[in-house]
């Protein structure tokens, strides 16, 4: 990933103007009839990133998909940095948002986790884009406001609510990355985890004898048998979410007490 492939790496004023434009706006108002729009540029970029990853995303590849010259795309979006912020905000804006009204707080937090896991499964490139400076567009803002509702009214301070959400989303993203990496490894190698371990097992038994590494051998064998692999993203998600909820419960219950 390039140095500028993070959120808010472009011109902040131009980026915010584009993020908060009215739908259909953002192109030049004068001159000859335009062949595309900001929305079309973003849609084309999303198609490329979802299918091929951010490595394949360039202003030239977007232009080719739209059937315009590369310079024409710069008429609508100043560059890839600003385009990436538009892409992030667009997928955040399109996320389904469940009605959390009346749910117990654990259910609310679990729903927020599931919504983000689904987003990262559909747009795997999002899991690798640093967002310490989030693109503060309507999509990001609506997502943040919605997700904070899972922690509202629990006795947490505003700073603690923000930290609890950050903690939850960090967990979801870390598990999603491993799941994505596992799928990519299988696709690149042309063999599943099960097939890879079967081929590696004879050598590993020679270089890693159970009598020398008894815990690694015992626990690794149990996990491998349970998951048919060294790792199960589903199991890690279920186990980790339960522990995350337990950790948050300790803080929330201390406030109530």
Query: Would you kindly state where each structural domain of the chain is located, as residue ranges?
Result: 12-92, 96-256
Query: How much of the chain exceeds pLDDT 70, in percent?
Result: 92
Give the pLDDT confidence score for residue 3 in this predicted structure: 42
**69 near 41, Cβ under 8 Å?**
no
Question: What is the spatial distance between Cα 108 and Cα 99, in angstroms, rounded to a whole number?
Answer: 9
What is the CA 125 to chain-centroid distance, rounded? 7
When the pLDDT of each residue in the chain is averaged and rounded to a whole number, the result is: 88
3-state secondary structure 61-97: HHHHHHCCCHHHHCCCCCCHHHHHHHHHHHHHHHCCC
Give the pLDDT confidence score for residue 30 in this predicted structure: 47
Question: What is the spatial distance between Cα 89 and Cα 84, in angstroms, rounded to a whole number?
Answer: 9
**86 near 8, Cβ under 8 Å?**
no
pLDDT at 190 over 90: no
pLDDT at 164 over 80: yes
7-to-44, 85, 104 alpha-carbon distances in Å: 19, 6, 33
Q: With respect to CATH, is domain 96-256 assigned 2.60.40.10?
A: no
Give the lowest-confidence range in 50-54, 124-128, 170-174, 187-191.
187-191
Question: What is the spatial distance between Cα 183 and Cα 181, in angstroms, rounded to a whole number?
Answer: 5
Return the CATH architecture of domain 12-92.
Orthogonal Bundle (1.10)
Same-fold call for 12-92 versus 96-256: no
Question: What is the spatial distance between Cα 49 and Cα 41, in angstroms, rounded to a whole number?
Answer: 12
Per-residue confidence band for 210, with pLDDT thresholds at 50, 70 and 90: confident
Give the pLDDT confidence score for residue 91 in this predicted structure: 97
pLDDT tens, position by position, 29-50: 444 445 789 999 999 999 999 9
Triad 227, 229, 231: Cα angle to 5°: 75
pLDDT at 256 over 80: no
Better-predicted residue by pLDDT, 204 or 38: 38
Copy the structure tokens of residue 234. Answer: 């589903």
- The residue assigned the tokens 């729009």 is 37
């Amino acid at each position: 990933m390039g140095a500028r492939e993070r959120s808010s790496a472009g011109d902040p004023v131009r980026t915010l103007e584009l993020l908060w434009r009215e739908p259909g706006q953002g192109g030049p108002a004068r001159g000859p009839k335009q062949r595309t729009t900001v929305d079309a540029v973003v849609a084309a970029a999303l198609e490329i990133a979802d299918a091929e990853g951010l490595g394949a995303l360039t202003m030239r590849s977007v232009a080719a998909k739209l059937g315009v010259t590369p310079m024409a795309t710069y008429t609508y979006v100043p560059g890839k940095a600003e385009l990436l912020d538009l892409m992030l905000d667009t997928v955040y804006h399109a996320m389904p948002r469940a009605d959390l009204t009346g749910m117990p707080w654990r259910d609310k937090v679990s729903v927020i986790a599931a919504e983000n896991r689904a987003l990262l499964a559909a747009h795997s490139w999002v899991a690798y884009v640093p967002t310490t400076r989030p693109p503060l567009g309507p999509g990001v803002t609506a997502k943040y406001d919605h997700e904070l509702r899972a922690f509202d009214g629990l006795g947490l301070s505003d700073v603690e609510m923000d930290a609890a959400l950050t903690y939850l989303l960090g967990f979801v993203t870390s598990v999603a990355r491993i799941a994505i990496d596992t799928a990519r490894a299988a696709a690149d190698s042309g063999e599943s985890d099960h097939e890879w371990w079967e081929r590696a097992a004879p050598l590993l038994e020679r270089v890693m004898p159970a009598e020398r590494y008894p815990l690694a051998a015992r626990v690794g064998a149990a996990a491998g048998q349970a998951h048919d692999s060294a790792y199960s993203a589903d199991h890690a998600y279920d186990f980790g979410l339960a522990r995350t909820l337990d950790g948050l419960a300790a803080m929330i219950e201390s406030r109530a007490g």
